[in-house]
Chain A
Amino acid sequence: MNRMFCLLAGLAVLTTPVLAQDPVERGVRIGITYSPGVLPGLLVLSGPRSLVLDSARAILARDLDYSDEFEMITLPTGDSLSIGIGREATSEVVAPSSLNEAFINYPLFAALGADFAINVHEDVDQTVVATLLDVRGARIQRQIRLTQTNPTDHDFRLEIHSAADEFVRAVVGTPGVASTRILFINRGRIYRTDSDGADTYAISPSDVEAMSPAWTPDGREAAYMEFPGTLYRHDVRTGTRRVIVPTQEHQNFTPEYSPDGRSIAFSRATSDGTHVYTYNLVDDCCLQRLTVGRLYDNLSPTFSPDGRRIAFVSTRSGIAQIYVMGADGTGQELFAPFDYGVTGSSNAPEWSPDGAYVAFHREIDRSPQIFVMETATRTVRQLTNLNRNSDPSWAPDSRHLAFVSERTGSRQVWIIDIRTGKVRQLTRLGEARLPSWSPRIIEQVPNN
């Protein structure tokens, strides 16, 4: 299988393999900006160029960067330096359909600081193959063959995102969250975007003013409120909508599915104030009111991942704070501690998928900031302090949060890694708010 591949464009300076050095020098990185840290270094290799290969490399590199599990190794840009796979001392190399027989210059990658490397190439049958190389172990760790070949296709992007998640899993044990989508509101319409901010478009009708989208646990459907206050279920793939019948009365908002997807909790504004209700979607029955009292409001329910508890906002202390109760409304108590008369109002709770945290926003000097509370200890930690930040929504990894920030002057959705505090901007529209992060979108990725 001797096909000519041009894998090492203009690599004269680096064609001699750099051999692994003395262990004491392993931390030395050459030709790159890199500060040694605990994260494994990751190098995305260059190679033959085509629209599909370049797209795949770009999406993979971004996804793996956004996983916050790697130190991305960036080489000086330009054609003079590119690192790829090929035979020693030649820029025109022979690449077999499998990389097994190819020359892979692990020592060079290691010298550049890489613990792992990603290679994307086109196989003889023109399918795209993405490979995760374990540089220290000098072996192929994971190889994924894509089925889609059209880089503008949504499924192509999803396949690459899923491959990125699988590579993260291969390295750290839990999959990444690239194969997810985020819903948000832009001027009354519901938009969706991929986790990397690409493929952004409206999914709700233009003549409808919507608020508060929420995903089903299977990622197929979203519920949202449509003004003046009716809740709808929206099939994200087909676009068909169904009304949630009992919400045709009164003003209903902040829908949230139970983790088994069988029921929905929401807020209803009545002449008794606002209260939390649940409704059984499977049997289309059994509207249940969980909170009582004419003098205070209860809203924004969020289920614990076992479905047995609901955290929610209540104004029973005088200002909005985070409370918790059984899913049947029993045992209501304060959840996130606060100092009476000192702590600002707290809103928009969302229970993390692993159950360990509840994220919410709390006002500091009348500006909301993102907080997380560890549910086991009920200790509260502030994550943001720049401008106004609100309405957090968890990624399926219980590590990243989408939230709304006004730090650029307009409301946009940003993402924060709660371990490192690292943030990135997700949306760049006129306005983006009330984000809802999907579960992982399940798609079978055929593997080699």
Chain B
Amino acid sequence: MRFTVPLTAGVAVILVAYACGGGPPPPPPGPDLDSLNEAQRVRDSIEAARRAREDSLERARLDRERLEAARRDSLDAVRRASERVRQQLEVMVHYDYDRSNVRPQDAAILDAKLAILQVNPGLRIMISGHCDDRGSDEYNLALGNRRALSAKQYLVDRGIEDSRISTNSFGEERPLDSAANETAWATNRRSEFSITAGGAELRAPGGM
């Protein structure tokens, strides 16, 4: 221990000198008590500074993580909300045999889409008309077009810009249920809605 003191003091002096940079020259080294205490103080203050720095880094890291988590949560929330909106948008409407008019019970489905289109002005959609396989194959292309058009017209009549909605028809070529019974046919007589642009982050209309 005896032999180490001067060495430690020397180190402290060097450290002080280093810390003071271009300040006045350091006192000459000596094994006196004052200088030992001084060295200890310096040492402690360096350690405290180091700890403080580490603490602040840690705090910053935790803050950052908290922020990120919060942002993630809010992004997730936005994404979840957007996904709910997208699902709402993709709910199909159905039709009676050889008919293309919007049925009263399906108006609410289209009203929900209307609200979504209103609060998401960048959103553009495609409506695809489909038929069951009982009608004529080729006629069903025209009927599917009619079905898509009537769903579109419902939205356009309520203020959605015509150019935001495109339509096409798959006739009877894309059945969801290939069985030959009324349940399957009713399922297949439908319009499908898909997003063609502006669907990355969808805002939910009020009340959703």
Q: List the interface of chain A (C-beta within 8 A of B).
A: 188, 209, 211-212, 227-229, 251, 253-254, 267, 269, 271, 273-274, 297, 299-300, 313, 315, 319-320, 345, 347-348, 361, 366, 368, 390-391, 433-434
Contact = CB atoms under 8 A, between A and B. Distances in A.
A313 B139 contact: yes
A352 B167 CA distance: 35
Interface in B145-162: 145-146, 149, 162
B168 A273 contact: no
Given A269-B145, A297-B146, A391 B173 contact: no
B137 A391 contact: yes
Contacts of A347: 135-136, 138-139
Contacts of B146: 273-274, 297
Given A228-B168, A229-B168, A271-B167, A251 B145 contact: yes
B138 A211 contact: yes
A313 B135 CA distance: 13
Contacts of A320: 136, 139
Nearest to A275: B142
Given A228-B168, A229-B168, A273 B136 contact: no
Contacts of A300: 138-139
A269 B173 CA distance: 16
B173 A227 contact: yes
Contacts of A271: 149, 162, 167
Contacts of B137: 211, 390-391, 433-434
Contacts of A273: 142, 145-146, 149
Interface in B103-161: 134-139, 141-143, 145-146, 149
28 contacts: A209-B173, A211-B141, A211-B173, A227-B173, A251-B141, A254-B138, A269-B142, A269-B168, A269-B169, A271-B149, A273-B146, A274-B141, A297-B142, A297-B145, A297-B146, A299-B138, A300-B138, A315-B142, A345-B98, A345-B135, A345-B136, A347-B138, A348-B136, A390-B137, A391-B137, A391-B138, A434-B137, A434-B138
A391 B133 CA distance: 14
A89 to B, nearest CB: 62
A251 B173 contact: no
Contacts of A227: 170, 173
Contacts of B143: 297
Contact of B142 (A274, A368, A391): A274
B98 to A, nearest CB: 7
A267 B136 contact: no
Given A300-B138, A345-B98, 8 more contacts: A274-B142, A274-B145, A297-B146, A299-B141, A345-B136, A391-B136, A433-B137, A434-B137
Q: Which of A297, A366, A391, A434 has the most CB of B within 10 A?
A: A297
A314 to B, nearest CB: 10
